Every structure is written in C-alpha cells, then in structure tokens.
Amino acid sequence: MVSKMVIRPKIRLIINTLHGMLIFLFAGLILLIPHSAAQELSSFKSDIPFGLRMSFFRGKADSTRSLLTLIVDNRNLLFYRGSNYYEAQYEVFLSMRETKTHSLLKGDWEKKVRVPTYDETSLAAHFDPLRREVSVVPGKYEGFVEIKDVQAKTYGNGRVSVTAPDFSKNLPKLSTPLFYDPGELSKNASPKIPAPEEPLREASLKYPAGKPIFLLLEIYSDSTNPPEGWKVTAEVVKALMLFPRVEKFLEDGACYQRKMLEIPTKTMGLGTYEIEVSLRDKRNSILARTNTFKFRIIKSPEWIAENSENEIRYLKYLVSDNELKRLLNLSKEEQVNALQEFWKRMDPVPATAINELRVQYFERIDYANRNFTTEQREGWETNMGEVYIMLGPPSEIYGSRLNQIWVYERENLVLTFFGHNLRNRDIFDEYIRDRRWWRDSGDSK
C-alpha cells in the first residue's frame, strides 16, 4: 500500500553565504542532463530533463535494429513512499516518421524506478535507464518524444531527428558503439561478448570514475573487400587532455564481426568527454567512423582513492590557501583520510546518508567544466566557473556569449564577464572575503 507521503527529489541544496558562515538552504534547481546521442537530437528544456540516445545495428532482411535508451535522473522524478521502498513511475511516448517513405516509428513505454532509501531519490546519477529495441527502415526520421511523470503529472518533451543507417550498402561500416552494461562482474573479469540474438543492454552514460567502459561494436564488410589486418580504434578526447588509443584487431576474412572495447577511466578527471571510434586498415587509413558521442565521469570511492590529490585540488574554493598546501603535502593514505574527515565536518545534514554539500559542490564543478572550459583552462578554474561554484546560478543573465552580466539578486551582486574573465573581480572578492567562514591560524586573508 503506497502512502500519501510525497518525496520531492527535485529539491537541491544550494549555498548562500551569510555573515561569518554558510547557511545551507534547499531550492528547486534542476540541471539539464546533457543529451548524448548516437545521432544528433535537438536540445530541449522542460519540467523533466532527460537524455535520449539511439544506437543502430544490422537487423533482419532490409531493416535496421535500433536500441532506444532514455535516461532520467532520480532527482527529476516524484517518488512515493512504499512499505519497503520509494517508487517513481514515468511514461514515454515516441512518434517518428521517415521523410521519404513515410515509414512510422511509434511507441508507448512505461518505466518504474524503485530505490531502497530516501536519499537515493535525490541522486543525480541514475543507472537504470529505460531500454527498448525496435526495428526500423533505413532513412532519416523526424519526430517527437514526450515523457510524463505519472505521479507528479509533469511533462518533458523534445524534437528528434536521426538517421537510421543502411548496413547493406556502402560497406565497410561500423554499428553505433554501444555503452554495454555487463551486469555484475567479478574482480578483474571482462564481460563476454553477447550473441547477436541476445537483447542489447545500454549502460547509463554517466560512469563512476575508475570503472572501465565497455563498448560493443559490430563491423560489416563484403566478400569483395574482406578484412585483412584491419582494426577498430577508440580515442577519448577532451580539451587540454589526451588519452591513449584503444585498439582491437579483427579476424582476417570475416565479413561480420562483433568486438568489445574496454576503455579505462582511472586517469580521467570528473566531467564530460567525447569518444571517437573508427575502422582502420593495415596502413592505418580510416575505412569507416562513427559519430562522436559524449559521456560523463562522476565521482566514486575508487576515484577518490586513486585521485586524492585531484580531489584536494577541487577544494580550492572551500579551504584556505594554507590548508590546501597542507593537504597536498600529505601522503596519499593521509590525503584519503583527511578528505573523509573534511567532508564529515562539512556535512550540513549528518542524519542523512549522503553529504548534500559535497553532492552540490561537485555537481557545480561538473557544470562549470561542461559550460565554461576554454583552450587554456578547465571550466572550474575559470573566473566564471569559480563564481558559479561559489554562488550557484545567477538570478538573471544579460549580454552575449563573450560579454555577460550576471545578477545575483539575493546577494545584491552584479558581476561583469568578458569571455570567462571577471572584470569587477574586486567586488566578488570583497563579498567572499567578508563572508568566509573558514580560517586557519596561518591564513592572512
């Protein structure tokens, strides 16, 4: 029996600086999920932000097999309290038409999300996406997708434009790289490549740092040009960063092959990345490539243990300069323990299982990296990123992409940016300095 107690996971913690300390208030801030797609989908804003991805593989006869994956963060849904769980429910409606043949792709689906604790209703990372397989006629499709939160009676929607490839023509070709969900694996084990007739399982496009990403690929060629010394390669790219290329060689002569690529994430920081996958011959010439697509790395215990120094660097806006230097000079084991103690002291609501400030702080860092990164700096280290992390989203924004004015009505602040550089830096510094609640004996600020 579901009670009438309503849980509102849209409520998120924001930081409001006041004299001598920070006061933590709950407010309804919702950040859009960056939609990553195998084919480009039009952006949209709505009551329920969501991400949609369509992956394509060769189907039976002249059809193309497509996996639709729709992702909604828990915090964007309304949960009801049950006897042993919290449950949200949403419905999805999709209608798309192929522009030349007028073939129709239509579907109605339902998804229930159950979590065991109240805290999990507010998580930004959701690892149980709605997955549905459909068969489509190759071609370009235009359409509409709508999502409804059954319990909140709220909606989200957007336009969809995708091209379903024809895997029988213009060979060789690659399928869409699928973020494969291998389920639970024993330590150091690699997933088995699923058989072609098995249902496809798309993982969330948000990965806990430190855990590898598995990409499932299909390679198609014809008998007049079979593979000989061919390989598939995957490269992760991000501004100011370069990662090793992952390669896997094909079997010579086989015109249809399935491969699994394992992408390590241990050296990746938090934020959004793009990945490029291509098919190359023995001279390393590119025979086919897929569209680039995005994924996000989010925090995990493994990431903290392996990247304690990076974790500490991210604290530059929460600790004094002296304290930051002290933490960086500790051993790795001491750094991990110091971080645990730091966030324990900073927990605004110790009675809950999650640290709301920590969640909010790193979500703002992630937002800054996605929106304010330049050729010289990651977004969180820019002036614009610093202001966003410290004060949150402004009440109003005026200007163009390069010249912006941010208005913080509650704080009585008007900040001017040229590019990502804060022009009236002294006003912001004075505001923060007068309200800094952290001090140590050697801090001269």
Q: Where are the domains of the chain?
A: 1-169, 307-435
Residue 253's pLDDT is 95
Euclidean distance between CA atoms 8 and 384, whole angstroms:
30
Question: Which is higher by pLDDT, 359 or 421?
Answer: 421
pTM of the model: 0.64
Mean pLDDT across the chain, nearest whole number? Answer: 80
Per-residue confidence band for 260, with pLDDT thresholds at 50, 70 and 90:
very high
**Residue 114 in tokens:** 């159950």
> Would the CA dihedral through 387, 393, 399, 402 be positive or negative?
positive
> Residue 150 above 80 pLDDT?
yes
Per-residue confidence band for 419, with pLDDT thresholds at 50, 70 and 90:
confident
**Average confidence (pLDDT) over 70-80:** 87
> Residue 2 above 60 pLDDT?
no
> Residue 443 above 80 pLDDT?
no
Residue whose C-alpha is closest to residue 56's, from 129, 158, 131, 135: 135
Among the ranges given (84-93, 115-124, 156-165, 190-199), the one the predictor scored with the smallest mean pLDDT: 115-124
Residue 228's pLDDT is 95
**Average confidence (pLDDT) over 225-246:** 87
**Average confidence (pLDDT) over 117-121:** 73
> Residue 298 above 90 pLDDT?
no
> Residue 207 above 50 pLDDT?
yes
- Phi, psi at 222, each rounded to 5°: -125, 170
> Residue 372 above 50 pLDDT?
yes
For the chain, report the end-to-end CA distance as a whole number of angstroms: 57
